[in-house]
Amino acid sequence: MLKTRVITAVVALVVLGIVLFVVPPLLAEITIGVVVLAGAWEWSAFLGLPRAAPRAVYTGIIGVCGAASYYFLPAASDLVLQIAFVWWFVAFIWTMFFPTPIPLFLRWLCGALVLVPLFVALVQLYRIGADKLLFALLIVWAADAGAYFAGKRFGRVKLAPSISPGKTWEGVFGGLVIVSILAVGVAQWTDVSLAVLLPFCLAVAALSVVGDLTVSMFKRTAGIKDSGTLFPGHGGVLDRVDSVSAAAPLFVLGLGWLRLV
């Protein structure tokens, strides 16, 4: 299982590097859009839709919302990302009270709240600089990898057993340790103060955990373990971008708040 995860991760990194640093910008942004649409298709499975046609309609709705946001970028980005920031705070509170019934209309709405700001944030980061987008992803990956290995080795206290029984507080702290090391390394290579960078990275990493738990909450409600099978050993698109969907909007907003761009 670990070998499969590693091979898939390496292949995905190569493809990501090509998208971010080789292909023309328009094609890169289209690729980001396609990935988000794939996530919308997977989210449609949470809605209990019986056939492919209704699922395609939901995917199309997310696509239209994303296209509208794209058309008005960058003017609309702040509003979209601020809405996302509020949503993820609400989601954080929500996870504390799960299991709770999730009405169908909320499943439809929350898909848009997760996926449209994700698209806006990723495109905005790419336009600011591919290195900034890569850094945001590295924070999430470091938190995820640290949590995986620390949880395997030291995990005892469950983080949210009703949502994701395998996650532990020890895993969360392990992920934050790895993110701290990443922040120290980046501070050494840039002119950004560690006093600014460290809490910023830790906040992004902590919110990535909320994204993971929130999407897991919807999967559990729908009785689904993995959102898809596109990435062997990793699941589907949503399984890979759930953490990023919460972290990326905060990362973009934080760059502006802290005047890092």
Percent of all residues in the chain with a pLDDT value above 70, rounded to a whole number: 95
Label residue 259 by pLDDT band (50, 70, 90).
Answer: confident
Going by pLDDT thresholds of 50, 70 and 90, the confidence category of residue 171 is very high
pLDDT attached to residue 5: 66
**If you average pLDDT over residues 52-56, what whole number do you get?**
92
- DSSP letter for 249, please: H
Q: How far apart are CA 130 and CA 124, in angstroms?
A: 10
Angle, vertex CA 9, rays to CA 6 and CA 15, nearest 5: 145
Is pLDDT above 60 for 1?
no
In this prediction, residue 253 has a pLDDT band, given cuts at 50, 70 and 90, of very high
Q: pLDDT category, 50, cuts 50, 70, 90?
A: confident
The yes-or-no verdict on residue 209 having pLDDT over 60 is yes
Residue 177 pLDDT: 97
pLDDT tier for residue 26 given thresholds of 50, 70 and 90: very high
Predicted confidence (pLDDT) per residue in 111-160, tens digit: 999 999 999 999 999 999 999 999 999 999 999 999 999 999 999 999 99
Average pLDDT in the 209-213 region?
96
- pLDDT tens by residue, 222-245: 888 777 665 555 578 998 899 999
Q: What is the mean pLDDT of residues 79-91?
A: 94
pTM for this model (two decimals): 0.93
Mean pLDDT of 188-192: 90
Q: Whose CA is closest to 65, among 109, 9, 12, 28? A: 109
Give the confidence band of 78 by pLDDT, cuts at 50, 70, 90.
confident
Is the separation of the CB atoms in 250 and 92 below 8 Å?
A: no
Cα dihedral: 82, 83, 85, 87 (round 10): 170
Give how many domains the chain has, as a whole number: 1
Report the C-alpha gap between 119 and 127 in whole angstroms. Answer: 12
Task: Give the domain range for residue 176.
Answer: 2-257
